[in-house]
Amino acid sequence: MAIEIFMPKLSSTMEVGTLLQWFKEEGDPVEIGEPLFEIMTDKINIEVEAYEEGTLLKKYYEPDEEIPVNQVIGFIGEESEEVPSSSPGLSSDSSSDVDDSEDTREGAEENVASQPSGEVDVEQNEKVRATPAARRVARERDLQLSAVAGSGPKGRVHEKDVVHYSEENQGKKITPLAKKVAENEQVSVDNLTGTGANGKIVKDDVTDAIQSATGSANTSSPKKKKLAGMRKVIADRMQESVNTAPHVTLTSDIDMTKVKELRSQLLPTIEKQTGLRLSYTEVIAKAVGVALSRFPSVNASLINNEIIYNEEVNVGLAVAVEDGLMVPVLKKVNSKGLSTLTKEAKDIARRAREQKLQSDELKGATFTVSNLGMYAIDAFTPIINLPETAILGIGRIQDKPVVVDQTVEVRPMMAVSLSFDHRAVDGAPAAAFLTEVKRILENPFELLA
């Protein structure tokens, strides 16, 4: 019986996934554990592996298409089996849903699901006829066999056909949908730079080129970009947070003199241990973690009108990525040393920018720190990352004149902004928490105890 391949649901907020590429062509053999296709979710790009073996009988969608979760996108089965000519819709097994609170499989890569199909009206599947050598070369050059004209009997694609097609297209990697748009709009792809996986040209690259050309011809036409993928998810969540949680923001200035001294003393030791340089972010995260352990009302989540006081102190670090934002999570921050936090923070930030995080590394935050200190920003109003009840915004460290013991001195001062959900936290405990963060950072050597 043919097995369904469907768009997996990898988080509770995921409603659609964008198909980036197929790693197999129709007619190709599929083994368990092999990467089958790549998708962009609301959080990360991820390769989805097959957990059934057989032959890829049908692909219903092409790269760049947005597909609802649990939609059947293809079939795996025996080579002679018949399958529907178009997608039968949602998977027949709804138990494939995965949300942020309960993983039903081990690791996000294993969330590809194939389930037995029911009895449906089918037509003979039209598979691409190709020699094994042609399939190998197509895989090596990342080409769609369906785009190659075969010179063999009954249109069978030979190795020379794939090589000829590749040379004609000058090695350009382009999704079928992008190629179709380019052909319809008569746009040359020779000078386009692909933004897709492995530099592949995707639909947005072609439409951007069209808009750019139109803008050159008519300066009154602005460039437009559809709010989609990660950008749309961020927009929806920010809107939900602002509309749902009554935000109150408290600000304070922190004297970072002793933090600078501590960092200077620890730099050579931590760099020798880890090969990495201790940054202010790790010191601030540690101080926040210690303060959160003392203020359970701030280390809380508001879910379904219930305030949940979290036992673990898990700090999310906002990381800017291309066209978006990710918040990977440092777990049990209050119980870890600065050396460990340096390794973990640097690692998750790097992999966030490379979009190589696992889904569980984006879960479980009880509080978020958003650091814009590397820019010329003194203070800002951060938006709470629901269902958390608070977020701390960090500004730059700047030398300012301050009064110390009735004398004016120039000190490195840092402005911080605490936004909190007034449904769950009142002003007094929020102010006490921020005061504790200030006290710890102005006396940071206690972090070594």
* Residue positions annotated with a catalytic role: 422, 426
By 3-state DSSP, what share of the chain in percent is helix, strand and coil, each rounded to 5? 35, 25, 40
Kindly state the tokens that stand for 81: 């089996």
CA distances from 381 to 56, 394, 395, 420 (A): 51, 10, 10, 10
Nearest CA to 275 out of 346, 353, 349 is that of 346
CB-CB contact of 20 with 196 (8 Å) = yes
Please give the span between the terminal C-alpha atoms of the chain, in angstroms, as a whole number. 63
Which residue in the block uniquely carries the two structure tokens 């958003």? 370
Count other C-beta atoms under 10 Å from residue 316's C-beta: 24
Contacts of 239 (CB under 8 A, 6+ apart): none
Output the DSSP codes for 277-339. Answer: ---HHHHHHHHHHHHHHH-TTTSEEEETTEEEE-SS--EEE-EEETTEEE--EE-SGGGS-HH
Q: Which residues, 6 or more positions from 351, have their beta carbon under 8 angstroms from its beta carbon?
A: 328, 357, 361
How far is Cα 43 from Cα 426, in angstroms, rounded to an integer? 32
What phi and psi, each to the nearest 5 degrees, are found at residue 405? 55, 45
Compute φ and ψ for 142, nearest 5 degrees: 55, 50
Instruction: Please give the DSSP secondary-structure letter assigned to residue 146.
Output: G
* 7 vs 90: CA distance, rounded Å: 9
Q: At what angle do helices 257-274 and 280-294 cross, to 10 degrees?
A: 110
DSSP 339-401: HHHHHHHHHHHHHHHTT---GGGGS--SEEEEE-TTSS-S---PPP-TTBSEEEEEEEEEEEE
Half-sphere exposure of 28 (CA within 13 A, CB side): 23
